[in-house]
Structure formats: C-alpha cells, structure tokens
Structure 1
C-alpha cells in the first residue's frame, strides 16, 4: 500500500482499473493545491504562470448539470496556436473500439477513476464560433456521448459553462526525472484553481506516485484541502 499525503491506493485497486483497458493505459497523477498556498507553490517550483500563454475552456452541460451526474464530460478548448479541440469523456470510462480513443486512470488524493476520452482537433478560432454544439464533435464522439448521457439528451441541448482562463507550464523540479504540469484556472471573480499533474505508464504508477510525492514534499508543497476536479469546479462555478 502506498501511503503519502498525495495519492493512496493498493496495487490491487489500481489493477482493477487498469486491466480491463489493456496495457496501453496511462495514469495521470493530479493534486490541487490549496488557494492560500498558490503563490508559495509556484515560487518553490520556479514557475511564473503570468508568462504562460492563456487558453480558454468551456464545458457543456444542462443548467442543472445532468450530464455531470451521468459521468459524461463535454469540453471545448481554445488553445490559441491553432490547436483548438473538443473532447468527450466518460467517468468512469470503459474500453471503446474507436479511433483516437484513449483510456487512462485519473488519480487524485482520495480518488481513482478510469476515464475514456475521444478528442477532435478544431480549426483555430472555431471554439468561439456560433454553431450548433454538434458541429464541434465528430460522429464517434457523439456516439460515445449518447452511450452514457441521459436518455433523449443531445449535445445540441446543452449550454456553455465558461469560459475559464487557463495558464499552463511544464517544469522538471529538482529531484524529479519527469515533467510536472502546473495549471492555473482563473474564474471571472478572480478565484483560482492550481493543479499539479504528471502522466506515466500504468505499470510504473505506484513508483512514480511515491517519487513525485517525495519531491513535492521536499519543495514543501502540500496536498491538503478539497481535491475536486477542474471540471466539477468549473461547472459548479458557472451553474450558480
């Protein structure tokens, strides 16, 4: 059993999520930093997010978040360098025989869930265009959506929750042999979410989690306070 302030699971728990998805499954380790520790954490990691390019993200859902309750995520993202995209995710996910389908395990403190996702690249600026939502998603994405969305609900029935501004930088902290992604999501009222994450192969997830937690603790980064996904935080904010 791995025991740390960051990620806790047994090899059996991880295997139950990974095995059905096949050997290509990756694990994304995520931790949300408490708001009062944002400035200290960025300084400790040598990160200045004010220099990072700004992205914008919208989530699509019903006004009462029926899609989220069903475990479906519909997202549009404007990256700014011609790589806008859309994604449909299922949480918890399952293997799907489709091109561009990825299956990975999202690991946060106290939370371990398999996610199935299909992404589509969009033309630059398309994320802001006024079109029916279905125009942003390919047929395979719409099929994945329909497989778990509430009966009768279509993508065009959804409303936009957002945008939220995102700044993102990848760094390699002292003592860590892999890149750490630092993301700051800023809401219209000025409140922030700061998330640290790294990806690895499922076979090395326990080892990478232990090492990453050790390095973050050495930088005095803490994993205390609420650990909610960026999706949930954004939907909750804009549906108030």
Structure 2
C-alpha cells in the first residue's frame, strides 16, 4: 500500500515537516485490472457489504479548476444524505486559509501511495439527497448548494476568467464502497471500485491513520498486502484524475472506442 520507506531523503524530509500539522494520513493503493478479482478474494472482501455511490465533479469543460488545484465534487450515497466538497490539492498546512481549521467538515490530509504523497485540504458539507440529485441531472446549480465558507474557499482559488456560468457537471460516475477487516491486521480498510465511462475500473484500497502512526501503519499495511501477493510497484492512478480524464473524452472519440470494442 505504501512505499514510504523507499521515498528519497528529500521526500521523507518534506513529509516529516508537515506530518505534525495534518489531521490524518491516508495510505492508498490502486490495484491493476488483471489482479482486481484476486485481490477481492485474497483480502476476503464481500461485495454484498458494499454501498452504492454516485459522484459528479463540477469544472469547466477544459478542466480549468482541476488545473488550478481545485476539486469541486458532489456525492450521493445509498440511504444517506448527499454531500458537497471543495478540495484544494495540493495545499500545505501553512496555506490553509485563516479560520478554517475549526470548521466542522474541514480537514487537512496527507495521501500517500507507492507513487508519492500529496497534501490537501477540503471542506465537506452535508446536503439533502434530493438537492444533490437535482444538481446531477442539471436542474439546479452548484453554487446555491455550497455553504458560505465553501464559496469563500472556492472563490479564493478560482482561476482568472472562470465564473459560475462556466462550470458544468461532469458525470455521474457509479462506484461501490465497502469497509472491511483482514484477519491479523488491526486497521480497518476501505475498498472502492469506480466504473468509468469507458468501461474501465479502478479498485483502490486504503486505510487511515493518525499522523503519529503514519510510518508504523505504512509498514504494517505494506507487509499485509505484499504477503497477499499484491504488486506494490504497479503503476498508480488517482481516482479523481482518472475520472476527470474519462469524463472529458470527446464524444466522437468515446463512440469510436466503443465501436472498436464491440467489433473486438
């Protein structure tokens, strides 16, 4: 899950410098497509424990928010309220706008994977499912669903020339999420399976730890997953980046790709 011990000296120094100021550390690993079924079986993941979710991103058609380090996301969860999040990534703890650390729903988190690490801050606010659904089907705008602090956080990082009228809803993407435990491993793990518009799938395994336990958690998790035969050196892909790339593929290319797949 995490290759923290193989980070170079500069990476380790950077991580150690910010760990005391983050709220949590999330260790992540994406599993190659050809090993996903085996990973589910070897880790004892029961698909029937999974909860269905829908996710959309709000950005310009050419992803100018994402390019500026801003992720605006809305999410529906089966049998639960929806939520909206404004995430700044990367964002070091020292860059957190004044007054936000005490806001309920705000967090500063360090994500670590075999590919490296990044620090982000996000503000997530619950919203009625019916309103989030209206956003997803295009009958309600996103700005009215954000609270005042989220709008402030968003406005501070909006690229020049981008306004509310330039934003579009990208998605939805359907995914399954389940929490599970592995015998002999004390931390709870999470598995998320994202199904992208082109039919490809991303399986991400993750676990969280407080900052002071980050290296211990990384060592324990690495030993567990390596012992199960998972390739910790496999190419890594982030869910958000892959989803945005898939959602902004021109329709002509997507149709051509589907046709080629059908012919195959």
TM-score (normalised: structure 1)? 0.91
Of 78, 85, 90 in structure 2, the residue corresponding to residue 80 of structure 1 is 78
Instruction: Name which one, 1 or 2, has greater alpha-carbon Rg.
Output: 2
Of 101, 104, 107 in structure 1, the residue corresponding to residue 109 of structure 2 is 104
Q: Which residue of 2 aligns with 1:62?
A: 60
Q: Distance in 2 between matches of 1:172 and 1:215?
A: 12
Q: CA deviation at 1:168?
A: 0.8
Of 19, 32, 35 in structure 1, the residue corresponding to residue 33 of structure 2 is 35
Contact 2:2–2:218 (8 Å) recurs in 1: no
Q: CA deviation at 1:192?
A: 0.5
Q: Which residue of 2 aligns with 1:133?
A: 142
Q: CA deviation at 1:50?
A: 5.1
Q: Distance in 1 between matches of 2:131 and 2:247?
A: 22
Q: Which residue of 2 aligns with 1:233?
A: 242
Which blocks of at least 5 consecutive residues in structure 2 are unaligned?
250-264
Q: Distance in 2 between matches of 1:127 and 1:50?
A: 25
Contact 2:26–2:209 (8 Å) recurs in 1: yes
Q: Which secondary structure state, in structure 1, belongs to the residue aligned with residue 190 of structure 2?
A: strand
Q: Which residue of 2 aligns with 1:13?
A: 14
Contact 1:102–1:117 (8 Å) recurs in 2: yes
TM-score (normalised: structure 2)? 0.83
1:160-210 alpha-carbon deviations (Å, 9 max, x no partner) = 111111101111112211101011001234321000001111111011001
Contact 1:167–1:184 (8 Å) recurs in 2: yes
Q: Distance in 1 between matches of 2:180 and 2:237?
A: 23
Q: Distance in 2 between matches of 1:81 and 1:222?
A: 35
Of 175, 194, 201 in structure 1, the residue corresponding to residue 203 of structure 2 is 194
Query: Which segment drifts farther, 196-205 or 7-16?
Result: 7-16
Q: Which secondary structure state, in structure 1, belongs to the residue aligned with residue 18 of structure 2?
A: helix
